[in-house]
Structure 1
């Protein structure tokens, strides 16, 4: 017959394993929640911007958009894959259609 102390230690070990499993699952869920919140925030902003733009009509003066420099210069003839939330670069002197991602 096992001792009472031994039985309690086994139950404690099982409880400790369960706690670690739940912590790992909670960390995973918190990561997914953070990503989902970012997507939701982007959707809300997009809807608000569209609403403001439609409400302003065609008479609104649009503020100039600051051009975002590429962190890595593009190689001539190289096509980039589209990235969610990416900005289409403004056409500049010497640029060709090759500078755009294939989906554009």
Structure 2
């Protein structure tokens, strides 16, 4: 017959093992709960951003269209040439394009200018690379309504120069 102390020691060992197992599981559950809490917090912040965005868009759309002002645009070097509309100033063009339009609007450009003449008027060397670059820019100005190609390779400003 086993001794009472031996039985108690065996029982104590089993309970200690159970306590250790439960402590490990509690730690694991606690770590999982912290991870879920962090994910929940992020999801709640994302939801609040969406709610705020929807409210802002609703406010903006509720305003009458007349209250919406056109943004002021200024020229940026390397920017895309905008399509010309009535009342649009040359200042919306990038500086290189502004210079081309100003030469085409001058006395020298009234009859039309070839790209070699345009290069000379702009103070550029009349080398093929510069001339072809100007030709490309002049054609782009024609496509967007800022200049006119009077004959193949000859460009001038529109009849009514814009400021």
Name the TM-score, length of structure 2 as normaliser: 0.35
| 1:18-76 Cα deviation digits (max 9, x unpaired) | 0000000110111111001100110011001110111011777xxxxxxxxxxxxxxxx
| Residue equivalent to 1:46 | 46
Runs of 4+ aligned residues of structure 1 deviating over 4 Å after TM superposition are none
| Residue equivalent to 1:82 | none
Task: Determine which structure has the larger helix proportion and give its number.
Answer: 2
Separation (CA, whole Å) in 1 of partners of 2:40 and 2:15: 36
* Number of equivalent positions: 60
| 3-state SS of paired residue (2:47) | helix
Larger radius of gyration: 2
Name the TM-score, length of structure 1 as normaliser: 0.54
Within-5 A mapping of 1:1-104: 1-57=1-57
Task: Determine which structure has the larger strand proportion and give its number.
Answer: 2
Root mean square deviation of aligned Cα:
1.5
| 3-state SS of paired residue (2:26) | helix
Separation (CA, whole Å) in 1 of partners of 2:43 and 2:18: 37
| 3-state SS of paired residue (1:14) | helix
Structure 1: gaps spanning 5 or more residues: 61-104
